[in-house]
Amino acid sequence: MNNFPLQGPLALIAFVTVTASCVGQSVLSAAGGTHEAGPTHITYTIGEPVIATVGSGASQLTQGFNQPWADIGTAVDDPGTNEGSINVYPNPASHSLNLAFSDNPVDHRFELFDALGKRVMDGRVQGTITELNMEPYASGGYFLRVFGPQDSFLRSFKISVNH
Q: Is the residue at 149 inside a domain?
A: yes
Backbone angles phi, psi at 14, to 5 degrees: -65, -40
Classify each residue of 106-118 as buried b or exposed e, where b means 16 or more C-beta atoms within 10 Å of its C-beta: eebbbebbbeeee
Residue 36 lies in a domain: no
Q: How many domains does the chain have?
A: 1
| Per-residue confidence (pLDDT) for residue 15, from 0 to 100 | 61
* pTM, rounded to two decimals: 0.51
- Cis omega (within 30 of 0) on the bond before 92? yes
Residue 117 lies in a domain: yes
Question: What domain range includes position 148?
Answer: 86-161
Give a yes or no: residue 53 inside a domain: no
Closest CA to 83 of 62, 67, 99, 61: 99
pLDDT per residue of the chain (163 residues) written in tens, 0 to 9:
555 555 666 666 666 565 555 545 555 555 667 778 777 767 666 655 555 666 777 666 665 555 544 444 444 545 555 556 899 999 999 899 999 999 889 999 999 999 889 999 999 999 999 999 999 999 999 999 999 999 999 999 999 998 7
Q: Is residue 109 part of a domain?
A: yes
Q: Is residue 2 part of a domain?
A: no
In a domain, 111, yes or no: yes
The CATH number of whichever domain residue 145 belongs to comes to 2.60.40.1220
Residue 62 lies in a domain: no
